[in-house]
Amino acid sequence: MALFNLAFARQQGGKFVLRIEDTDRQRYVATSEQQIYDSLHWLGLDWDEGPDKGGPYGPYRQSERLPIYRKYAEQLVEAGHAYYCWCSHERLERMRAEMRASGQKDQRYDRFCLGKTRDQRAAEPGFTDKPVIRMLIPDDPPLAFHDLIRGDTRAPFPDDQVLLKSDGFPTYHLAVVVDDHEMAISHVTRGEEWISSTPKQLLLYRWLGWETPEWAHFPLLRNLDRSKISKRKNPAARLTWFREQGYLPEALINFLALMGYSMPDGREIFSFEELSQSFAWERLSPVGPIFDIDKLDWLNGQYVRALSDDEFLHRLRPFLPPTDAATEAGLRQLLPLIKERTVRLSQVPEQVEFLFAPNLAVDPALLLKQGVDRSTAIAVLKAADEALSQIDPFEPRPLEDALNALGEELGLKRRSLFMLIRVAVTGKTATPPLFDVMAALGRDRCRKAIAAAARSLATEK
């Protein structure tokens, strides 16, 4: 929503407002606000007004606007559009249970408190001393409205929605209508799960005498099986997960845009600026898009490979241990090869961890899985150590020529020889190209690792 809101606002020369809707105190988490700031900044989705920046329509936290909501809620009561409800939580639960037991599908509030004074209601069961304020839905609420994405849309009949809770905090419905009016919001863009709430909000606009905004309800992102993405079941529902995995923010922005939008020329790779310039409501699909991580991996790989080596290394820094001069030099030497193999930045440390292990300890069992017996492996490693001492310059092509010659001399298949040396110098069976890796490690580290591997085979029982 932030992505498309900002793209539209920038295209129109408008303002993008960040409002913290923190009225649900049972679900309130103190660190969430900063996480919102950090995540949006990481994605490059910056706002013009908000709690941290101020603006002409502040405050921008709903928890700091409680007197404003109470004023309008009481105004609605006085006008006969809302009423006080003293029903206890237990009484409401019993009411719904009885409705379910009788097969009643519509379990709206039964208006038990409507038209009663506090004293009248207190004389009856299921009373609580702290009332809520409910809206009084008329017999003919506005169920139809125009949606910028879906066209003419119809919502279900609403219930007598609570507007102001017993703790003095508003519900979403009252708060957003009041804030959207007071902050001069022109377009309300949100997920399709809020379609059913639109009649309630249209009534509030009508009752308060305010002009209604434009509405746009976006489809929900779906898993591959078309189920709704859940934070409890899918780590990709948590925005910080993408940062932890090493997705580039510009790739994620591009991917999210593809989830709801198609460029006029059909391109799949485009920038936020290009999205904003071409933005048109009719190009947004009302169909729930599939959130395909494989597609995101592909797209992220495209963006990674477009980075310069210096920028690639800069993006990698948070995922890598500190480097000394030798490790830094080796890392830079391998960057072009690593970049071609990288889908997520979080995968890189495993590819290059041998660079950060000056005293590599290789599992002898892994050495013996490379197609040679113990005595042959020891002999080959010792011969390789001797061969490495003669190679000058210690670069990929001379290394390849020398080790090819060694394989012929020993009568050993290239694959067995190269895999044995790969495991000896890296501890892995899969790495960037062997000779580039060896050149990046340098002669001394390669010989030290090969000698250590030979000793481990000789001393293992």
229, part of any domain: no
Non-local (6+) Cβ contacts of 455 within 8 A are none
231 classed as catalytic: yes
Closest CA to 438 of 320, 355, 379, 321: 355
Domain with 377 in it: 364-459
pTM, rounded to two decimals: 0.89
Do residues 214 and 277 both lie within one domain?
A: no
Residues 74 and 209 in one domain: yes
* Residue-wise pLDDT tens digits, 117-172: 999 999 999 999 999 999 999 999 999 999 999 999 999 999 999 999 999 999 99
Please give the average per-residue pLDDT across 268-281, as a whole number. Answer: 96
Q: Per residue in 416-437, pLDDT tens?
A: 999 999 999 999 999 999 999 9
Residues 94 and 203 in one domain: yes
Same domain (yes/no): 185, 239: no
- pLDDT tens figures, 356-402: 988 888 888 998 888 888 999 999 999 999 999 999 999 999 999 99
Selecting among 231, 233, 369, 413, the annotated active-site residue is: 231
Q: Is residue 27 part of a domain?
A: no
Q: Does a structural domain hold residue 5?
A: no
Residue 152 DSSP code: E
Same domain, 319 and 419: no
Instruction: Calculate what percentage of the chain has a pLDDT beyond 90.
Output: 84
Residues 445 and 383 reside in one and the same domain: yes
Q: Judge contact between 85 and 131, C-beta under 8 A.
A: yes
Q: How many domains are contained in the chain?
A: 4
For residue 451, the domain's CATH number is 1.10.10.350
Question: What mean pLDDT comes out for the span 216-236?
Answer: 78
Among candidate residues 163, 189, 218, the one where a domain is terminated: 218
Same domain, 298 and 315: no
DSSP notation for 171-230: PHHHHHHHHHHHTT--EEEEEGGGGGGHHHHHHHHHHHT----EEEEEPPPB-TTSPBP-
pLDDT at 217: 96
Distance CA 193, CA 383 (A): 69
Give tens-digit pLDDT for 181-192. 999 999 999 999
Do 398 and 412 lie in one domain? The reply is: yes
Q: What is the maximal distance between C-alpha atoms in the chain?
A: 104
Closest CA to 449 of 402, 384, 399: 384
